[in-house]
Amino acid sequence: HTDAVRGEILYEATGKPFVMYVAVSDANGTRLTRGAAFNHYELTDQLEQRLTDEDWQAKVYDGQGTLPAGDQWSRDLMQ
């Protein structure tokens, strides 16, 4: 979302995938499943300093910059 009045842009982004294990019980019985889950990030920045996908990926995967805090509701889940 672009806010031209405030000169800001809102980003929605994901971080590195986490491996998640979940026990499920269905008609076939109980079993352990595995999949991927991602942290969600929401951040604002100045409109004239727009991030490209490559800029964000460098922050996430190459440690080139500080990531914002994750969503409050998911912090305990994604450790």
Domain encompassing residue 18: 2-63
In a domain, 69, yes or no: no
In a domain, 8, yes or no: yes
SS3 for 52?
coil
In a domain, 26, yes or no: yes
In a domain, 77, yes or no: no
Distance from C-alpha of 47 to C-alpha of 49, rounded to nearest angstrom: 5
SS3 for 78?
coil
Question: How many structural domains does the chain have?
Answer: 1
Residues in the chain predicted with pLDDT less than 70, given as ranges, are: 78-79
In a domain, 34, yes or no: yes
pLDDT of res. 30: 97
Distance from C-alpha of 77 to C-alpha of 68, rounded to nearest angstrom: 17
pLDDT of res. 78: 65
In a domain, 59, yes or no: yes
55 membership: H or E segment, kind and range: helix 53-61
Q: Which residues pair with 37 in a beta bridge?
A: 18
